[in-house]
Each structure stands twice: as structure tokens, then as C-alpha cells.
A and B are shown apart, each in its own frame.
Chain A
Amino acid sequence: MLDNLLLGLSAALQLKQFTFMIAGTVIGLWVGVLPGLGGPVAMAILIPFTFSMDPLSSLLMLASISVGAAFGGSVTSILLNIPGEASSAATAYDGYPMAQQGKAMVAMGLSAGASMVAGTFGVLVLMFAAGPVAKAALAFGPAEYFALAILGLTVVAVASLGSTLKGLAMGALGIAISLIGVDSILGSERYTFGSVYLLDGISFVPVMIGLFAITELTSMIIEGGTVAKAGKLEGSVWEGFWGTFKYPFVLTQSTLVGAFIGVIPGLGATAANFLAYGIAMRTSEHPERYGKGAPEGVIAPEASNNSCIPTSLIPALTLGIPGGATAAILLVAVTLQGLRPGPMLFTSNPELVWGFFMGLLIGAIMATILYIVMIPWFALITLVKIELMAPMLLIITLFGAYANERSMLDVFVAILFGLFGYFARRHGYPLISLVIGLILGKLAEGSFQQALQISDHEYSVFVLRPLSAAIFAICVVLVLWPGAKKRIGVGGAEVT
């Protein structure tokens, strides 16, 4: 093991690799800030440029983009309530109220601290537990995946206390939207009405841009003024950075949630982000503080998405099953370099594998440093007048919707969801539930159908398998918990 670590360190610390990592991180930070143009998009655009690079440089640059984008995505979540990355959406719930209180730099410091700790932990898990964890993930069958998808929806719906019904309804709507297009199991066309655009289903990016960016822009224009209500900034980056360590329980819990979710193929950093937030609120002694600028509300989602990114590479590198979009693109890059993902990769190319792991470790720290340097400049955005900022954001966000697939229809989808989102949010319908439903819908249906086919259409399969039954039991407890909590007189926060 020590030999491998040293081998990896010597490979990763070469000037060439270091330069590619810095370039990747800066590109990631940059595109992460732009709604619609997240890490996977930037990675996909840059893949052709990696053909001529050596395998380690190309993998490190692509992975650094992903790490940088995770940091960059939280910038606009905190400052403008517009997630640059889907995996930073839950960060906005407490990050934005902190920015409104003039504590944007503290919130970004918290995000930097949590991201660095969790990112480092995620890479360590990737290094030392890749083999055993991948084997454990194999114990999850379709019934368990279906149960996990329902758990994801339940946690988010329940997190919106006082409107659990509305949360569940939005989750159902999200799943319904995910059903549009060609059914992946049976190949039937559903709800396409003859449109070629709808054959692949509604893309996730314009929906996200609409629900988060356009909805927030609409509210911003109505309210006016500046994001920082007092018109000045309070606190410092370091106050936030060191503040992260005042909440060791939330930090540890959310890091573990993210690392676990990352290992399960199909869930990814966005689900981890929301789940960790929901769990942190559920387990908090003061859930009423959430949604109003609680530091734990920034730490939880940021820790989870950053620990999720490295661990999502475990099934990708060991089994060839991507845990999310980032892992899928890295798999493509590995294959394009003439390598074959799987257990043999570890024995045939130890320098590449361990160099990549050490590069990720160094990259997590490097991204934190670059992020901290840039925070004071980013924070100034909260002092710009909304009358000037709103049109700029409108252009950038809707162009982001267009740029995703160069499709004008995506722009109209974003607008439609934006207007729907504005009224839905105003009336207490949590938009995150819709997003989670949309993300997990395909996984839920696919697993549901597969479980039924394997069990010869025995519906009891979902409760007879112990792991699946346990996950469903957690769902039931979560749904009943708010009522029980009300009876014993403990309040809760509302998240929309």
C-alpha cells in the first residue's frame, strides 16, 4: 500500500500534472458558477482535447474540472440563490439567507471548509475502500434501488415540514415528468405527442435552470434592492472556514452520507446534497434554524456533494458502472486512452490509478486554496443593484439553457418551469421535491420493473428482501415523524 501511495505521489507531483490540475480547477470554478454549464458539460467539451495527452494528465484535468465545478456551483447558490451546479442546489437554502444577512463570505468560508474536509475524506475512501465498498454495493438489487429512490423522495418531502403533502405531490410530478420519452425497459413512447424533442425526455438542465434560476430571478425583480439587504458585508472567509469545525457532527454525518450515496450507481451528488441537508435538519436539535441562515445548512450539502464525487468513481473504476455524469465522462476518457476500467486496471496500471488518487487528494486542497482566494471578489456581487444584475443573469441563465444542447426548445422549457416554479414556491410547494423526483424517476421505474420481472411479478419482493424492507421502514418512520414530533411539541423549519 505504502509503495502504491509513494508511486502515486511521485506521478501526481510532476509539474506537468500539477499544471493540468490547476487549469482544470480554474476551468471548473469558472463553469461551475454558470448555471447550466456544470462540470460534466465542461468535461464533455474538453474530452477531445485530452486525446493527445497522456492518460494521467487527461484524467487529472477532467477530475479537477469536476472538483472545481463543485466549488464554483456553490458560489451562485450562496450569493444569488441560483445553483451553478445541480449538486449545489440545497446549499442555497441556508447559504442565500446568510448572503442576505451580509454574511456571504462566512457562508463561502463554511462551504470551503466543508468541501475540503469532505473532498479529502472522499478521496481516502476511494483509495482504501474501493474494493470492499464496491462489493457491498453489489448487494443492492433492483428492489433496494427502488426503495432508495423512494427514500430520497421521502426525505426531501418530509424536510419541507408543514407542507409534506405538497412536497410529495411535487415529487410525484417530478417522477411523472421523468416518464416522458422512450421507456428504457420496454421501449414504448410515452407522452411524446409525436415530438422528436420529447423522445429523449425533458433534459434535466433546463428544468433546473427554470426552477431555480428563473424562479429566483422573478422573485428578485419583484423585491428589488440588493441581495445583501443591509448593503454591506459582514464577517470574513476565515471565520466561516474555521467555523466549519464547530459543527463536527453535521460535518461527519454529511460527509458519510455523501460518501455512501456516491458508491451507489445512479444516485449521484445532487441526491446526496438534498439527502444530507434533509438528514441534518431531521437530526438537528434546532431544525427551526434551517432555511434562515444556519451554518449547518451550508456545511451539510457542501460536505455531502464533495465526498460523493470521489466515491462515485468507485463503481466506475472497479466495476465499470458510473455513479453519475462525472464518473461516466471519466470512464469515457479512460476508454479513449485505450484502457479498460475494472479490477485489472489496478494491477496493470498502478502508477496511473494511484497517481490519479493522489492527484485528486492534492486537487481537493488546491481547489480550496483557489476558492478562498477568489471569495472576496465573488462576494461583491451581493452588493450590485438587482435592477442591473437581473438582466445580466437572465441572459446568462437562458443562454446556459440553450448551450446545454444548442436547443431553443430548452430555453422555452426553462421559462415554463421558471414561471411554474415562481407560483409553486410562493404557495409553499417545495421545488426540490420536483427536482429529486425528476432525478430519481427513471431509477425508480427501472428498478421497479426489474424487481417485478425478476420476482415473476410478485409485488411482495419489495418488503420480503430485508434490505429493501429496512429502507421502506425508514420511509414510513420519516413520514410519521413530523406528526409525532408535533405531538411532543418540537418545531421545524420550512424549506421551499
Chain B
Amino acid sequence: MSTDARIRNYSREQYSLIAVLLLLFCGIIVFAWKLPFDARLFPMVIGATGILLVGLITYQELRRLRGHTDAVSADDPAANSTWPRFTAALLSAPVFGLVFWLFGFFVASLAAMLVMPPLMGYSDRRRLLTVGIATVAFLAVFFPYLVGVNLPHGIVGDWLIDTLRPD
């Protein structure tokens, strides 16, 4: 990726983040509006302070952009990584969360252990299978018996258990 493109992407992300923060602080004020005075006083102060700070940050960033100060380093790992790796990094947690919610611990954990490493470029399949199954088996014993937390079956798993249970 060229330096210009890298700076453009970085700036776009920076301004998106500023917009998100501004939206959040505005939301704090808007949704506090109808509360009783004492309950809205502190949120109003915090929201207004936040908006002021975001304004100052925007000014600071604009000045930096105009001054062409290096915003992103040439060895920025995000800009230099391959797209499968970058996608794996950003999507692994949300996808794991979704599968965990739908299908429970076993399916989500096995999927994470067996799918994530190849996406990151890991190629030793035999070791991957061994480590993956051993890890999931160990955690399946560790969490319920040693930490005292039962493994969730997920909504699909719970539905299947309810459906297949003999009356």
C-alpha cells in the first residue's frame, strides 16, 4: 500500500472515530433531556465536556493533517498485513460470539481452533487437529468441574435438547 493511501485510510478511520464519539456524547445529552433535573445534571455536564473535547481533538487532527505530520508509521502492522489475516483479526471475535450464542461452547471452540489458524497462514494440519481437540477437551473439563461454570449449549443446542428429550 502506498504512503498516500495508507495516510488516507488512517485519516478516514480517525474521523470516523471522532464522529462515533461525537454521536455518543450528543446521545448522552439528548437521552438525558427528559430526566428530572438532579438525574440529568451530571450526564449533561459529562456530555457537554465530551462534545467540547471531541471538538478540540478534531481541531488538533485537522492541524496535524495540514502540517503533514506523520500520522501513521511505515511499519504499521494493520496496513502491512494480508487481507485474510486482517479479516480474521477483526471478525474472529464477533463470529466466535455469534457461533457461541447459536451453537454453544463445543461448536464455537472447535471452529475457532480449526478455522482461525489456517486463515492466519498456519499450515501444519496434523498439529492443528491435535492441539485443537486437546484444547477443547481440556477446557470442557476445566470450566465446569474446576471453575464451576456450566458450558452453554447455545440456542440451537437448547432447542435440540428440548426437542429430542423423551416425554
| Residues of A bordering B, CB below 8 Å | 31, 34, 37, 45, 165-166, 168-169, 172-173, 175-176, 179, 183, 185-186, 188, 190-191, 214, 217-219, 221-224, 385-388, 390-392, 394-396, 398-399, 402-403, 406, 408, 411-412, 414-415, 418-420, 422-424, 426-427, 429, 444-445, 448-449
Flag if B135 contacts A390 (CB, 8 Å). Answer: no
Flag if A408 contacts B152 (CB, 8 Å). Answer: yes
Q: Which of A45, A168, A214 contacts B148 (CB 8 A)?
A: A45
> How many angstroms between the C-alpha atoms of A419 and B96 in the bound complex?
13
Flag if B112 contacts A165 (CB, 8 Å). Answer: no
> How many angstroms between the C-alpha atoms of A34 and B146 in the bound complex?
13
In the bound complex, residues from chain B placing their C-beta under 8 Å from that of A214 are 93
Closest residue of A by beta carbon distance from B27: A191
B10-49 contact mask (Cβ, 8 Å, vs A): 1 or 0: 1001100100110011001001100110110011001101
In the bound complex, residues from chain B placing their C-beta under 8 Å from that of A217 are 89, 92-93
In the complex, how many angstroms separate the beta carbon of A300 from the nearest chain B beta carbon? 27
> How many angstroms between the C-alpha atoms of A395 and B97 in the bound complex?
9
Q: How large is the interface on B (under 10, 10 to 19, 20 to 34, 35 or more residues)?
A: 35 or more
In the complex, how many angstroms separate the beta carbon of A191 from the nearest chain B beta carbon? 6
Task: Tally the A-B contacts, defined by beta carbons under 8 Å.
Answer: 169
Flag if A395 contacts B96 (CB, 8 Å). Answer: yes
Flag if B53 contacts A399 (CB, 8 Å). Answer: no
Q: Which of A183, A396, A419 contacts B39 (CB 8 A)?
A: A183
Flag if A221 contacts B147 (CB, 8 Å). Answer: no
In the bound complex, residues from chain A placing their C-beta under 8 Å from that of B86 are 222
Flag if B121 contacts A403 (CB, 8 Å). Answer: no
Flag if A445 contacts B42 (CB, 8 Å). Answer: yes
Flag if A415 contacts B28 (CB, 8 Å). Answer: no
Flag if B57 contacts A169 (CB, 8 Å). Answer: yes
Q: Which of B20, B120, B132 contacts A390 (CB 8 A)?
A: B120
In the bound complex, residues from chain B placing their C-beta under 8 Å from that of A168 are 49, 53
Closest residue of A by beta carbon distance from B92: A394
> Can you give 28 contacting A-B residue pairs, CB < 8 Å?
A34-B147, A45-B148, A169-B21, A169-B50, A173-B24, A173-B50, A176-B47, A179-B42, A183-B39, A218-B92, A219-B77, A221-B88, A221-B120, A224-B85, A387-B116, A387-B122, A388-B127, A391-B112, A394-B116, A395-B136, A398-B96, A399-B143, A402-B100, A403-B147, A411-B100, A411-B101, A412-B101, A415-B94
Q: Which of B48-78 contact A (CB under 8 A)?
A: 49-50, 53-54, 56-57, 60, 77-78
> How many angstroms between the C-alpha atoms of A37 and B46 in the bound complex?
31
In the complex, how many angstroms separate the beta carbon of B101 from the nearest chain A beta carbon? 5
In the complex, how many angstroms separate the beta carbon of A73 from the nearest chain B beta carbon? 16
In the complex, how many angstroms separate the beta carbon of B78 from the nearest chain A beta carbon? 6
Flag if B38 contacts A173 (CB, 8 Å). Answer: no
In the bound complex, residues from chain B placing their C-beta under 8 Å from that of A45 are 147-148
Flag if A426 contacts B78 (CB, 8 Å). Answer: yes
Flag if B147 contacts A31 (CB, 8 Å). Answer: yes
Q: Which of A218, A391, A406, A422 contacts B149 (CB 8 A)?
A: A406
Closest residue of A by beta carbon distance from B121: A387
> How many angstroms between the C-alpha atoms of A424 and B97 in the bound complex?
21
> How many angstroms between the C-alpha atoms of A185 and B39 in the bound complex?
8
In the complex, how many angstroms separate the beta carbon of A314 from the nearest chain B beta carbon? 29
7 closest cross-chain pairs (CB), A and B = A387-B122, A221-B89, A188-B39, A169-B53, A403-B149, A391-B112, A172-B50
